[in-house]
Structure 1
Amino acid sequence: MMAVTLKQIADSAGVSTATVSRFMNADPSLSITQKTREKIIKAIEDLGYDKQPRAISIPRNIALLDTTEPTDLVQDEYFDTVRESVAEFSRTHNLTLTTFTTLKDILKNAKKVDGFIGIGPRTLTDRELTRLHSALPHGVFIDTNPAPHLFDSVQPDLQQTIVDAIDILTRSGKKKIAFIGGDDASPDTHHRKELRSRTFIEYATSCGLDITNLVYDKGPFCVETGKTLTEQLIANHKEAMPDAIIVAADSLAVGVLQSLAAAHIAVPHDVAVVSINNMPIAQYMSVPLTTYDIDIHELTNMAVTLLTQAISRKRERTAHAHIGTKLVVRSSFVPERI
């Protein structure tokens, strides 16, 4: 097959060769209408230019739907890193990124973008998600999977992480393991426990562990929730504390360690603590935190890749990816063997 030339693309799109060249090189000074941009992209795809041995990344406009709300410094830092990583990989993939914080705004601008990446708590209802899909059928959610039948998603493999945490604690001789987590923020799933809580209950029970009154998972994922839930745990088990606590996120773990210290419960001597996220603060706590690392850059890279593939191929079926986590061992729990 003969290679497709810029002139062929220009002729098909009804523009100059120079315009096509500047478009493909993402020239920031190029000013063209949305209609012209769509004509160039259609010509590129119809002629198969992106299938040539020397493939290029077609410039596209994408939206970042950011539904995060300030909670506490630890949780905010996590989403700050996600935002920065999305921006970084968007540049790498030759994408123009525009941020929207409400459904109303992204719907108003839907015709100006080719797809979206969603981050933040699951605050959209089923009806809102359906409206979003009608306007923008190509979208990827990071960290959550609010509408698996409508949109792609990329998530850390939290289910396997909880299983691994229970296994590594029991192999180290821990027999009474508690869990501290948070609520699922979705208005349509308030009656269901969050994935980490569900997995802990199901797998711990299957392992024959007695977790009666050892699951505390009500409240947002923030430091204050971690403090409050740990105070409840201590009050209910002051005569026989668990010998280990699995915490759903580092933002909670900060509060967990604070409450344990206030009650003069030594970590890890009296109780081991294992968390999830590996935020920078984890290594600087009074007791450095053993936690499962989530590779945010891998999550966002995969999200951008899924989105660009879906747009280019006009993929109609959704795709979902889970990225594994890795245990980072610090003082709050040192396993006997990994």
Structure 2
Amino acid sequence: MTTIKEIAQESGYSSATVSRLLNNDPSLSITADTKNKILEIANKLGYWKDHQEKKIRPTIALLYRVNHQEQLQDEYFTSLKQALISTVEHDALKMKTFYDVEDLIQNASSFQGFIGVVAGPIKDYSLKKLHEVLPNGVFVDTNPAPELFDSIRPNLVLTVKNAIDLFIKNGYDRIGFIGGWGQKHNDIQEFDVRTTKFADYMKARGKSTEWMFADGPFGVDNGYRLGKEVLAKCKDKLPQAFLIASDTLAVGVLQAFNEEKVNVPNDTAILSINNSNVVKYVSPPLSSYNINQQEMIDMALDMLTNLIIKHDWAHMDVSMNTNLVIRKSFVPKAK
């Protein structure tokens, strides 16, 4: 069994300092470099294998990047950020926020790991540089570099399948989809997983994919534009139901539908994704798949702690299931 004395001897610090760090003494004041060195030696000597009940309080960074183009879209990531800050404060952790990856790279030695909440693009070379200096990182909701960093994300693939199955079970045959672009990575515009899964699973269920509208950013204005496009193209053959890829798009679509006197859910039913605060107040209130942000944050911090204290910890890309919150835009038939 690895002892405090062995870690102290190899690290060059006193047994008292090592003990206070590994036992989370809140009054201990040491530099990040000192903390990193002691934890590195503890990892190398296998300390955590014999002390799995212990949890450390690492000094971490938050990499927070959003586009700041759409208030309601930003609300989702702002809420993630606030959930992380509240949890960090409750757990008496130390955290500093960075809005630029290059700044985090320059200050990497001050931290044992980072949490990433990212909606804006980051270049591959920056992510590789970040991994070289701060390899312990967990992204929440998205992961721009799954080959380098861990992540916890909502299971959007299962969400889309569930929505299609639910519509079919309720007798809907003409099912539409409204979505947006995927992430842009290294100047390559990727497809959004909700769009690709909708097309694949509709074909697997023997249903038509002709009512798919996926273009532009995940914002209210674009949802309004897509709603108008839907009405112009579908005319008197409006799909019986729509899955909309996000609440922000759904708010814009509802505006367009309401202007043209389309009655939701009588003329067409709507399911959305995110379950943000605004969906309770639109007309009609949206049935939406809830993404449990607090659970994602809690799991991200647990994953990050394990990465820090266990050098042989298996890397993970974890999917968390969503749950449907029923409101007036779609109410399933009683069983």
User: Common fold, TM-score beyond 0.5?
Assistant: yes
Note the C-alpha offset of 1:74: 2.2
Q: Which amino acid aligns with 1:71?
A: Q
Note the C-alpha offset of 1:25: 6.0
Aligned to 1:133: 131
Q: Cα 1:55–1:49, aligned 2, differ >3 Å: closer, same or farther?
A: farther
State the alpha-carbon separation in 2 of the partners of residues 114 and 265 from structure 1: 54
RMSD of aligned C-alpha atoms? 2.5
Q: Which runs of 4+ in 1 moved over 6 A?
A: none
Aligned partner of 1:255 among 248, 252, 257: 252
Deviation readout 1:54-113 (Å, 9 max, x if unpaired): 832223121111111323332222112211222234345553211111111011111111
Length, aligned pairs only: 335
Q: Which secondary structure state, in structure 2, belongs to the residue aligned with residue 276 of structure 1?
A: strand
Aligned partner of 1:31 among 24, 29, 50: 29
State the alpha-carbon separation in 1 of the partners of residues 3 and 161 from structure 2: 51
Aligned to 1:266: 263
Q: Which secondary structure state, in structure 2, belongs to the residue aligned with residue 219 of structure 1?
A: coil
Aligned to 1:336: 333
Is residue 67 from structure 1 mapped to residue 65 from structure 2 by the alignment? Answer: yes
State the alpha-carbon separation in 1 of the partners of residues 259 and 149 from structure 2: 45
Aligned to 2:297: 300
Deviation readout 1:175-224 (Å, 9 max, x if unpaired): 11111111113233744321000001111122122222x22221111111
State the alpha-carbon separation in 2 of the partners of residues 25 and 130 from structure 1: 33
Is residue 244 from structure 1 mapped to residue 245 from structure 2 by the alignment? Answer: no
Gaps of 5+ in 1: none
Q: Cα 1:226–1:315, aligned 2, differ >3 Å: closer, same or farther?
A: farther
Q: Aligned ranges for residues 95-114 of structure 1 at < 5 Å?
A: 95-114=93-112
Q: Cα 1:41–1:130, aligned 2, differ >3 Å: closer, same or farther?
A: closer
Contact 2:61/2:97 (<8 A) preserved: yes
Q: Which amino acid aligns with 1:305?
A: D
Q: Aligned ranges for residues 166-205 of structure 1 at < 5 Å?
A: 166-188=164-186, 190-205=188-203
Note the C-alpha offset of 1:34: 3.1
Note the C-alpha offset of 1:131: 2.0
Q: Which amino acid aligns with 1:161?
A: T
Is residue 40 from structure 1 mapped to residue 43 from structure 2 by the alignment? Answer: no
Is residue 161 from structure 1 mapped to residue 159 from structure 2 by the alignment? Answer: yes
Aligned to 1:117: 115
State the alpha-carbon separation in 1 of the partners of residues 216 and 329 from structure 2: 24
Contact 2:306/2:313 (<8 A) preserved: no
Q: Which piece of structure 1 moves more, 8-17 or 175-184?
A: 8-17
Gaps of 5+ in 2: none
Deviation readout 1:6-37 (Å, 9 max, x if unpaired): x6655665445654465456566543233322
Q: Cα 1:32–1:324, aligned 2, differ >3 Å: closer, same or farther?
A: same
Is residue 209 from structure 1 mapped to residue 233 from structure 2 by the alignment? Answer: no
With normalisation by structure 1, the TM-score equals: 0.90
Q: Cα 1:185–1:45, aligned 2, differ >3 Å: closer, same or farther?
A: closer
State the alpha-carbon separation in 1 of the partners of residues 54 and 91 from structure 2: 9
